[in-house]
Amino acid sequence: MPNESVNAGDTVLVSVAFSSPNQAVSAIQFDLSWDPSLSVNVATGGQVGASNKTLSATLLQPRDLRCMVWAMNGKALSDGEVLRIYVTTPAGAATGIGQLALQNLSAAAPDGTPVALQGNWANVQFLAGTITQVLQPSGIVNGASFLSGPVSPGEVITLFGSISNIPVILFNGVPAPIFYANSNQVNAVVPFGLNISKPAQVQIQQGTSIATTQVPVAAASPGILTQSTTGTGPGAILNQDYSVNSSVNPAAPGDVVMVYGTGFGVLNPLPPDGQLATVLATPGSAVSATIDGVPAGVIYAGAAPGLINGAIQVNVTVPAGAKPNPAAAISLTMGSFTTQPGVTVSIR
């Protein structure tokens, strides 16, 4: 976890990386704590899903977050980023230092034996100067996968940063509907009319303050919503009887499960921005699915009735020959775009 510097009132990304060159490790746990002078949001690091692991984060007490990277398998966790921390400093703060710490660390090998794990402190230095950018491009993430990258028309996004009041967010001058906001997080929907031929200019207006940044754009950037709200682990999936899919309530082979996500691009007919879905609008390209690596039939992909336009429902048939698995990997693909790794569905 490296040291960073930031102007008072700004947000900086601190990346937590894991490395184990000489010992296979299948699970890690640590507590992230921070000074009262800092505000913190966290998102899943890219290597968690790539290693078919889940990130669980539980707030033990104010400014003390327990993080666990694990899975119901004995696979080793690959080296790389496991946690993204969006650190916001107080506006008007004097030049100084705020600290983050990784404490109470533990790890386990694939066979369950303990492995020594070391962590460190990181300093976030407050610099003299005015706020330069309320929200940074890396702080604009897919609202389902919590990964940064290109945005797409109709995608539900989450923005991390210093937010003193409900902002106005413009994509190329077009307002993005906002349906949730707190002091350092906003959830919004990218306008469906977004031009995908070039990067988008994003403006965040808070009163008289205006921040501008640029983000890449793609025709689609699909992600599956997860029960952990970290982008990995059990998906936001309903069984055929509309009960929540889980390891204690799995689906049977041949059943249809309803998978919820976002980022599947322009829908037809084009829905109005910011409204609840009343028409079964569908993506411009066919959506396919796999469960545990086996192709699974898709019988519907499109708008999720009763949810905001931009949320997508995909009805998938569990393959008839699927083996029992409390954490079978599930993915959805549209053209060359695929949902994030590390999402699971339970099969009995």
Candidates 70, 142, 76; CA nearest to 106 is: 70
Predicted confidence (pLDDT) at residue 136 exceeds the cutoff of 70: no
Q: Cα(224)–Cα(143) distance, rounded to whole angstroms?
A: 9
- Where does 223-347 sit in CATH, by number? 2.60.40
User: Using DSSP, how many helices (H) and how many strands (E) does the chain show?
Assistant: 1, 31
pLDDT band at 301 (very low <50, low <70, confident <90, very high): very high
pLDDT greater at residue 341 or residue 136: 341
Kindly state the average pLDDT of the residues 23-48: 91
Predicted confidence (pLDDT) at residue 166 exceeds the cutoff of 80: no
Candidate CATH numbers 2.60.40.10, 3.20.20.210, 3.40.50.970, 3.30.830.10; the one for domain 137-215: 2.60.40.10
Predicted confidence (pLDDT) at residue 333 exceeds the cutoff of 70: yes
Candidates 101, 81, 199, 204; CA nearest to 146 is: 81
Predicted confidence (pLDDT) at residue 137 exceeds the cutoff of 90: no
Q: Is the peptide bond before 326 cis (omega within 30 degrees of 0)?
A: no
Contact 217, 198 (CB under 8 A): yes
pTM score, whole prediction: 0.87
Which overall architecture, per CATH, does domain 4-127 show? Sandwich (2.60)
Predicted confidence (pLDDT) at residue 243 exceeds the cutoff of 60: yes
Average pLDDT value for the chain? 90
Contact 340, 333 (CB under 8 A): no
Candidates 234, 222, 183; CA nearest to 56 is: 234
Encode pLDDT of 248-275 as tens digits: 999 999 999 999 999 999 999 999 999 9
pLDDT band at 130 (very low <50, low <70, confident <90, very high): low
**CATH 2.60.40.680 placement within the chain:** 4-127
Predicted confidence (pLDDT) at residue 91 exceeds the cutoff of 80: no
**CATH 2.60.40.10 placement within the chain:** 137-215
- Tell me the one-letter amino acid at 261: G
**What DSSP assignment string belongs to 273-301?**
TTSB--S--EESS-EEEEETTEEE-EEEE
Contact 114, 108 (CB under 8 A): yes
pLDDT band at 92 (very low <50, low <70, confident <90, very high): confident
Kindly state the average pLDDT of the residues 158-184: 84
Kindly state the average pLDDT of the residues 1-25: 88
Contact 140, 152 (CB under 8 A): no
